[in-house]
Structure 1
Amino acid sequence: MQKSCFFKIVGHSCLIAVVVFISGCVSRPPEYDMQAFGAVGTDADVYIVAPVAGNEPLLKALFTAFVSEKTALQYLSRTSALYIGVNYEVTPSITLVSAGSYPVSLGDLLFPKKDGWEKHRAAALNNHAYYTSSIADIVVQEKTAFMCLGDNQRNSAAFLQRIAEPHLPVFPPRFQALSETGGVGEIGLYARSGNLIAAALLDLEDIELPIRSIELYLKKNADSIYRCSAVFETTDVRTALVVRLLLSHGMNGDFSVQGSSVFVENADITETEFIKMLESMFFKSL
């Protein structure tokens, strides 16, 4: 899919933000959605959790590429956390789940037929309404909004079934804790297959690195800087030493090797660099 199509897709995913012009601004609830990643499912290649608190500037920068600053800020004021799953397989897609407070009754206004949306009833969700277009499926509940982004080959039925019967993936303990309780200014990323993420971090193209998985944790510091810690799980000890060398040339930080794992601490990444990395992942999937 071309880059312009990607921006169109993400722009449609932000339509839910229009709600703020009609129903006003509410305070962001403190709770997190324990089942959110269950709607993403167990087959995603990359999982991202982003609590809104402390990450407003970065999230605003992402959203204001497609909607006004006022809309972006008020949408974020309704949202506690974003849960994202990226799938690169036969039918590439992005599942985005946001936990917060949303007025379900405004769905027909937000997603009108004249803009290419069709309203359906999901039997799997007790006939709850959902909206579909050529590029997205959206389900809005009072405390959770679900979006599946992709082309017209995406598996809408499976998306709805995951909402009805969530299957929680098994995560590393630190990522699991962040997805359940959040942390001010923190973002977590877990990749079951680490090649693409490593290539984005190192600004490499068309190079397959022998990395099985990646845990990446970012904590907002100051001056739009995120302090990063990471774990790169490789195939064996020798591979870990090679990956450590590559990483040390591509990013700053303190590096160590324990068995087949490479640990990175005290690495810094700017909001701009992180947004670029996210874009590279999303372009790959769509």
Structure 2
Amino acid sequence: MQKFSFFKLLKAGIITVAVMLASSCVSRPPEYEGQALGAIGTGADVYICMPVSGNQSLLKAVLTRFVPEKTADQYLTRTSVLYAGVYYTPAASVRIVSVGSYPAGFSGFLFSQKNGWQKCIAAPLNNHVYYASATADIVLQSKTAFALLGNKNRDTAAFLQRIAEPQMPVVPPRFQTLAETGEADTIAVYIPSGSRTADSLFGLQDIELPIQSAQLYLKKQSGSSAYRASAVFEASNTRAALVLRVLLGAVLKGHFSVQGASVFVENADISETELIQLLQSIMK
């Protein structure tokens, strides 16, 4: 699996969008309305839905690694939900869709050629303008911002086509509900790629975990910086699920149960610091 740093890729997109959010220009009506998950599309190794409400301190801790605290605050103030799809192959890339209220003017000035941006025309978006750099493609609407982050081999054509014609991935019902409602305080992570991602996630790279898919839901605890986690891991069969329960018990603390080929974890506490590290392990 090609390794890459999600946060290095995220840096260019976040800084550009955040600077733009700080400007006081007039928004125009959105030309295209698309479902966030549909714009991310199918085939991602990891899907993430993260509402801003209740998670400001976590997001701020991540963003302020790359932007000033004031800029991070302005971006989070204008954003309600962040969606991300992480792709490891064929080229490492991350698709991000943020929903909120964004100004649309002065894009040409902010995405200037001298700063490494190229103004392009997106034929799939009715000749809508987008901006491309060595590490990112950016499409802006008044209520939605789209970013494709990755190296020069990223598939820009497919990304633009997904915005024009959203292609909904198949995700678990609970994840789908959270993606549609943006339930406060709850972060949803769906890993359809199985053991490849989960091995890295739990630091068990030397053990091939019998995981077909995984779901992780984290809810901020009232009056605390800790998160209460619940998870579902799908194994290939019942025997594999029993083995998986033992392996996971070595790295997760919580109440475990096995039902058929599914391993359930409830009431597992994780600190904000640990959660930041966990997200970083998924996104690189």
Fold match by TM threshold 0.5: yes
Matched residue, 1:23? 24
Matched residue, 1:238? 239
Return 5+ residue gaps in structure 1 as ranges.
Answer: 27-32
Evaluate the alpha carbon distance shift between residue 90 and residue 126 of structure 1 in structure 2; reply closer, same or farther with a 3 A threshold: same
Evaluate the alpha carbon distance shift between residue 115 and residue 168 of structure 1 in structure 2; reply closer, same or farther with a 3 A threshold: same
Deviations 1:200-255 (A, max 9, x none): 44322243211000011000014311100010000111110111011111111000
Q: Secondary structure at the match of 2:74?
A: helix
The answer to whether the 8 Å contact 1:10/1:66 transfers is no
Size of the aligned set, in residue pairs, is: 275
Q: Secondary structure at the match of 1:218?
A: strand
1:190-229 correspondence to structure 2 within 5 Å: 190-221=190-221, 222-229=223-230
1:53 aligns with 2:53: yes
**Partners in 1 of 2:208 and 2:60 — Cα distance?**
33
The answer to whether the 8 Å contact 1:255/1:263 transfers is yes
The answer to whether the 8 Å contact 1:190/1:216 transfers is yes
**Partners in 2 of 1:122 and 1:202 — Cα distance?**
40
**Partners in 2 of 1:141 and 1:21 — Cα distance?**
16
The answer to whether the 8 Å contact 2:23/2:103 transfers is no
**Partners in 2 of 1:105 and 1:207 — Cα distance?**
51
Greater shift after overlay, 198-207 or 249-258? 198-207
**Partners in 1 of 2:224 and 2:268 — Cα distance?**
15
Deviations 1:121-176 (A, max 9, x none): 11110111100011111101111000011110110000000000001112111101
The answer to whether the 8 Å contact 1:130/1:137 transfers is yes
Deviations 1:90-140 (A, max 9, x none): 112100000011112232232211111001111110111100011111101
The structure that is helix-richer by fraction is 1
Q: Secondary structure at the match of 1:104?
A: coil
Amino acid at match of 1:277: L
Amino acid at match of 1:261: S
Q: Could you state the TM-score of these two structures normalised by the residue count of structure 1?
A: 0.91
Q: Secondary structure at the match of 2:13?
A: helix
**Partners in 1 of 2:251 and 2:161 — Cα distance?**
41
Q: Could you state the TM-score of these two structures normalised by the residue count of structure 2?
A: 0.92
1:11 aligns with 2:19: no
Evaluate the alpha carbon distance shift between residue 44 and residue 7 of structure 1 in structure 2; reply closer, same or farther with a 3 A threshold: closer
Matched residue, 2:30? none
Matched residue, 1:29? none
The answer to whether the 8 Å contact 1:201/1:250 transfers is no
The answer to whether the 8 Å contact 2:120/2:130 transfers is yes
Q: Secondary structure at the match of 1:105?
A: coil
Q: Secondary structure at the match of 1:232?
A: strand
Return 5+ residue gaps in structure 2 as ranges.
Answer: 28-32
Percent identity over paired residues? 56
TM superposition shift of 1:18 = 0.7
Amino acid at match of 1:50: M
TM superposition shift of 1:34 = 7.1
**Over aligned residue pairs, what C-alpha RMSD do you find?**
1.9
**Partners in 1 of 2:200 and 2:265 — Cα distance?**
16
